[in-house]
Amino acid sequence: MTMRTAERLTEGLEKPSLDDRSYRVIQLPNKLEALLVHDAETDKAAAAMDVNVGSFSDPEDLQGLAHGLEHMLFMGTEKYPVENAYNQYLASHSGSSNAYTAGTETNYFFEVSATGTSGESSGQATPNGTANGTAEPKTDGRSPLYGALDRFAQFFISPLFLENTLDREMRAVDSENKKNLQSDLWRLMQLNKSLSNPDHPYNHFSTGNLQTLKEEPQKRGVEIRNEFMKFYEKHYSANRMKLVVLGRESLDELEKWVSELFAGVSNKDLPQNRWDGIPIWLPDDMSKQIFAKPVMDSRSVDIYFPFLDEEKLYESQPSRYISHLIGHEGPGSILAYIKAKGWANGLSAGVMPVCPGAAFFTVSVRLTQEGLQQYQQVVKVIFEYIAMIKEREPEEWIFEEMKNLAEVEFKFKQKSPASRFTSRLSSVMQKPLPREWLLSGSLLRKFDPEGIKKAFSYLREDNFKLIVVAQDYTELNTKEKWYGTEYKVEDVPKDFMEGIQKALKTNPETRLPELHMPHKNEFVPTRLSVEKKDVPEPVKTPKLIRHDDHVRLWFKKDDRFWVPKATVLVTLRNPLVWATPANLVKSKLYCELVRDALVEYSYDAELAGLDYNLSASIFGLDVSVGGYNDKMAVLLEKVFTSMRDLVINPDRFRIIKERLTRGYKNAEYQQPYYQVGDYTRYLTAERGWLNEQYAAELEHVEAEDVKAFFPQILRQNHIEVLAHGNIYKEDALRMTDTVESILNSRTLPQSQWYVRRNVIIPPGSNFVYERPLKDPANVNHCIEYYLFLGNIDDEILRSKLLLFAQMTDEPAFDQLRSKEQLGYVVWSGARYSATTIGYRVIIQSERTAQYLESRIDSFLTNFGKTLETMSEDEFEGHKRSVINKRLEKLKNLGSETSRFWTHIGSEDYDFVQNETDAARVRALTKSEILDFYKEKIDPASPTRGKLAIHLKAQNGVPAEPKEGSEETALTNGTKAATYVTNVTDFKARLAVSTGPRSVVDLSELEDFDAKL
């Protein structure tokens, strides 16, 4: 019997002008549709499967089932029954995987090395085989993609739903939910869902927890494993699946693999999931205002309009015209007006698709303190602006400008990481787009004035509700079921509703004169040419084309990506910025004031793909301008002129100071695993501070202080510049001259430059630093377990760390998260400081930090045995993985700019560090890694230096498993802990490292005569 072949749907995909990939869309006989992508140059292969079913299909009495199923599919299949076989395979081939569950889709994706060999750099292959210490794995000559696809396909053919993994994965779901309980993003999203029509699945609690997936079903006598299998059988069908596969193989080869490996996916010919005829909100839900109290100190008003579904309006996308106008930030915009009034800090607007047939259009405003009092005025201004747009015919020039910008953006779109690309595309394939437009769905193709008018008709006074969010609201009478958010719902008051109706009836005579349509965007790029030259191999380092006491200018004309884009990064080096917490706070305020003053001007540039940034750093002030190079010099000059000429508006100062104060306060209410790194940095950097120390200083800073302070930074500095991209040497020199002439600063001698150093954690030490977490409702503790290794410029030590981190990556996750279920957040790997390196493990958990430390000790002790018994083949596989990661090709211009700037900022100027690391790893032997482990890592080692940060939840309930307890937590052969109680004392008693060291004499990188 011959196997039926796949039907080829198209190969003619519209693609960016620089896209050298080839594409083919096929449909298998089982109606599974796949997009095949051949990329001869990629070093990462990837695949993604999007299944058209998500949390909206959860049974009412088993909420979170779709999300739980997503977790379960990773846990073993008939063909590959070992529960972590898939992740182990990926880890051994420089790969990784993930998945997400949304309302109407579940998306699974992975990436893996595109070839089975290591040692490719910039397209120059080194010999394969064992000569270079990286043995080729046995794959019948096929790349690792085939083995990964084979394991991946089985998720959709024969998952096992193993009983013993079920309970653990439900705990992982529960832990994931607990991680989000104090997140305002999740809390407010669920509040909106919980207040919707109970008959629409938007109302569901999508994540699930132990209560919905275990405890309550068990009470009802439900066999939960059967429910997973029933859900899978009922909803997972080949005709609902969209697959994307990207690899180096030819399209014919990829088609053969996909046809073979996915033929076994069962097709049940299921219809698309739809909920037509069930409104998300009932008539009684309209014209309501909801007041909600957030965890963080934030203030906002959001307007939600039920909106039309644009799924089939992909040519005109009317909501983009509307959001372009309402969300505009230039002169005449809503934001310009409410900001000038002192009511708002920001505004965004756009469509929010919910499911086929349903969407919201939302307008969200970040309010000031006064804006909160005046939220009704803010809403009325929005409705006045809506009235102004509605009374005019849709304007074709506005659409054409948007269309032009979308075309430019698409034409010069660069590659994104492989798994992100496949994941996104598999989701796009669920849309009813012509298959030729899968890549180009962002393009606007048709001006449809009637469609725009119809879309505007949804923005009415009887078709919205408001959510006002602030901590000021204390008289709230209801708690949301799943997250406990306090809120109350009431009708929009009569006088407020009359004000909205009046706003919608305004005409040019009665409307606020400050509101008007945007003007033509002067930043739209017109010069988009790139002079492409054939080069045997791209240059790997930028050159110094100016190098004197005052300025260092690094330059590289792009010879790799050929896009009409560039970035200019400038550091104004001045030690005052990092001298004290008060100075850093003044610098931050200054940067915010400049950015605030530039919003109306820079918004057009941002729309046209040209952006800037200004921030305070350890060196001084960092300024960057990046995007299309055509009008870049104009924006750069404006930014530096604004920096020099800033006049501080006392009202804006007050608003920005209050915003920064809230920022410092809110930082202490973030997820514990976000916070823990701040403390590790604080204890290990020679000079550094915490948010609470900044906040204490901020209280006393006034506008006059900033006014007196910022000229000191601009008056004397050293200017370091990197100019990289589609610009010539003369452009780079000219822009640098512009910066120099605007500032007219004195030279800062090198003797005054700040030298960064890190604390040395001495051998044999075992330090613990404990901190209580601020958020009283948070239930999660957190640990960062840090092992100090040595200096960052020790190449051999660095290579051992990279290899050891690779070896423990998957086993640590498997043991500490999957098997022991300590928490959803489990991470292990290298920690790079300014001048030192170390190995760290981070866990966020309901278990105490002391207990977590004992489990990390136990894992590391046991890993010694794993290391001793590791086969030579497996050891070489790990080396191959590290080498592949270090030699991974740069994906786009931005990634190369980042690499250059990182090594300029680190002051090592080691632009080919990735190649050095790969070569050092290639030479490592197993005995060297064993010695490294015994000296630096093994908990029983008398020579390892350790520092653990313990963040303790106020609301934590100790939940220790039976084996091992608190009392025995820190005594398995490790030295008794020394608790750090005074950080200043702790750091004063320890030695510090040497400062950063350049790996090359900078004169070797000078090239003052470069032609370009």
Would you name the residues annotated as active-site residues? 70
Cα torsion at 527, 533, 539, 545 (round to 10°)? -60
Q: Residue 734: which pLDDT band, with cuts at 50, 70 and 90?
A: very high
Region for 931 from its dihedrals, namely left if φ exceeds 0, alpha if ψ lies in -120 to 50, beta otherwise = alpha
Indicate if 708 and 828 belong to the same structural domain: no
Give the contacts of 644 (CB within 8 A, at least 6 positions apart).
Answer: 714, 742, 743
HEC-encoded secondary structure of 7-26: EEEECCCCCCCCCCCEEEEE
Q: Does residue 869 register a pLDDT over 90?
A: yes
Q: How far apart are CA 900 and CA 568, in angstroms?
A: 12
Q: Averaged over 703-720, what is the pLDDT? A: 98
Q: Residue 31: which pLDDT band, with cuts at 50, 70 and 90?
A: very high
Q: Is residue 464 in a domain?
A: yes
N- to C-terminal Cα separation, the chain: 64
Q: Is residue 87 in a domain?
A: yes
Structure tokens at 606: 């941002």
Indicate if 596 and 698 belong to the same structural domain: yes
**Do the beta carbons of residue 552 and residue 747 sit within 8 Å?**
no
Indicate if 461 and 581 belong to the same structural domain: no
Q: What is the number of structural domains in the chain?
A: 4
The residue to which tokens 């957030």 are assigned: 294
Give the contacts of 251 (CB within 8 A, at least 6 positions apart).
Answer: 11, 22, 23, 24, 36, 38
Indicate if 627 and 572 belong to the same structural domain: yes
% of the chain at pLDDT higher than 90? 91
Q: Is residue 571 in a domain?
A: yes
Q: Does residue 544 register a pLDDT over 70?
A: yes
Q: Is residue 303 in a domain?
A: yes
pLDDT tens-digit readout, 320-349? 999 999 999 999 999 999 999 999 999 999
pLDDT value for 24? 98
% of the chain at pLDDT higher than 70? 95
Percent composition of the chain: helix, strand, coil (DSSP 3-state, to 5): 40, 20, 40
pLDDT value for 349? 98
Q: How far apart are CA 49 and CA 425, in angstroms?
A: 10
Q: Residue 150: which pLDDT band, with cuts at 50, 70 and 90?
A: very high
Q: Does residue 965 register a pLDDT over 60?
A: no
Q: Averaged over 361-377, what is the pLDDT? A: 98
Indicate if 855 and 925 belong to the same structural domain: yes
Q: How many residues does the chain have?
A: 1012
**Do the beta carbons of residue 624 and residue 661 sit within 8 Å?**
no
Burial level of 721, CB count in 10 A (0-12/13-18/19+)? buried
Indicate if 223 and 362 belong to the same structural domain: no
Q: How far apart are CA 384 and CA 503, in angstroms?
A: 5
Indicate if 354 and 465 belong to the same structural domain: yes
Specify the amino acid at residue 789. Answer: L
Q: Is residue 533 in a domain?
A: no
- CATH classification of the domain holding 741: 3.30.830.10
pLDDT tens-digit readout, 490-505? 999 999 999 999 999 9
Indicate if 680 and 709 belong to the same structural domain: yes
Q: Residue 117: which pLDDT band, with cuts at 50, 70 and 90?
A: confident
Q: Does residue 669 register a pLDDT over 50?
A: yes
Q: Is residue 538 in a domain?
A: no
Indicate if 833 and 714 belong to the same structural domain: no
Q: Averaged over 520-535, what is the pLDDT? A: 92
Q: Averaged over 219-244, what is the pLDDT? A: 96
Indicate if 98 and 41 belong to the same structural domain: yes
Backbone angles phi, psi at 754, to 5 degrees: -75, 130
pLDDT tens-digit readout, 630-646? 999 999 999 999 999 99
pLDDT value for 613? 98
pLDDT tens-digit readout, 616-627? 999 999 999 999
Q: How far apart are CA 501 and CA 497, in angstroms?
A: 6
Q: Does residue 122 register a pLDDT over 70?
A: no
Q: Averaged over 383-396, what is the pLDDT? A: 97
Q: Is residue 266 in a domain?
A: no
Which domain range does residue 903 map to?
Answer: 766-988
Q: Among 601, 667, 9, 653, which residue's Cα sits nearest to residue 298? A: 667
pLDDT value for 164? 86
Which of 227, 261, 295 is where one domain is finished? 261
pLDDT value for 128? 29
Q: Is residue 127 in a domain?
A: no
Indicate if 25 and 65 belong to the same structural domain: yes
Indicate if 208 and 152 belong to the same structural domain: yes
